[in-house]
Amino acid sequence: MKVLVVGSGGREHALAWKIKQSPKVRKLYCAPGNAGIAGEAECVPMAGDDVTSLVKFAKAKAVDLVVIGPEAPLTLGLTDLLEAEGILAFGCSRAAAELEGSKVFAKELMKKYHIPTAKFGIFEDPALAKDYIRDRKGQQVVKADGLAAGKGVIVCDSKGEAIRAIEQIMEQRAFGDAGKRVVIEKRMVGEEASFLAFTDGETVLPLASCQDHKAIHDDDKGPNTGGMGAYSPAPVVTRQLHDRIMKDVMVPAVKAMKAEGRLYQGVLYAGIMVTESGIEVLEFNARFGDPETQPLLFRMKSDIVDLLIACARADGSLASMKIEWYPDPAVCVVMASQGYPGHYDKGHEIHGLAEAAKLDNAYVFHAGTSVKDGKTVTSGGRVLGVTARGPDIPAAIEAAYAAVKTISWKGAYYRTDIGKKALKRCGCESK
**pLDDT tens digits along 70-124:** 999 999 999 999 999 999 999 999 999 999 999 999 999 999 999 999 999 999 9
The span from the first CA to the last CA of the chain, in angstroms, equals 46
The C-alpha atoms of residue 12 and residue 18 are separated, in whole angstroms, by 10
Instruction: Check residue 219 and give its pLDDT.
Output: 95
Residues 148 and 170 in one domain: yes
Q: Is the pLDDT score of 60 beyond 90? A: yes
Q: Is the pLDDT score of 430 beyond 60? A: no
Residues 199 and 310 in one domain: yes
Radius of gyration of the chain (CA): 21
| Alpha-carbon separation of residue 253 from 161, 269, 388 (angstroms) | 32, 11, 32
pLDDT mean over 7-28: 98
pLDDT mean over 272-299: 96
Residues 224 and 205 in one domain: yes
The domain in which residue 273 lies consists of 191-320
Residues 304 and 211 in one domain: yes
Residue 270 lies in a domain: yes
Residue 155 lies in a domain: yes
- CATH code: domain of residue 417: 3.90.600.10
Residue 186 lies in a domain: no
312-348 pLDDT tens trace: 999 999 999 999 999 999 999 999 999 999 999 999 9
Instruction: Check residue 152 and give its pLDDT.
Output: 87
Residues 284 and 404 in one domain: no
Q: Based on the structure, what is the number of domains in the chain?
A: 4
Residue 108 lies in a domain: no
268-283 pLDDT tens trace: 999 999 998 899 999 9
Residues 303 and 338 in one domain: no
Residues 361 and 415 in one domain: yes
Residue 104 lies in a domain: no
pLDDT mean over 200-217: 96
What integer best gives the mean pLDDT of the chain?
Answer: 95
pLDDT mean over 162-168: 95
352-397 pLDDT tens trace: 999 999 999 999 999 999 999 999 999 999 999 999 999 999 999 9
Residue 34 lies in a domain: yes
Residue 137 lies in a domain: yes
Residues 163 and 271 in one domain: no
CA-closest candidate to residue 140, choices 116, 168, 160, 114: 160
pLDDT mean over 181-186: 95
- CATH code: domain of residue 136: 3.30.1490
Residues 301 and 360 in one domain: no
Instruction: Check residue 431 and give its pLDDT.
Output: 45
221 class by beta-carbon count within 10 Å (0-12 exposed, 13-18 middle, 19+ buried): exposed
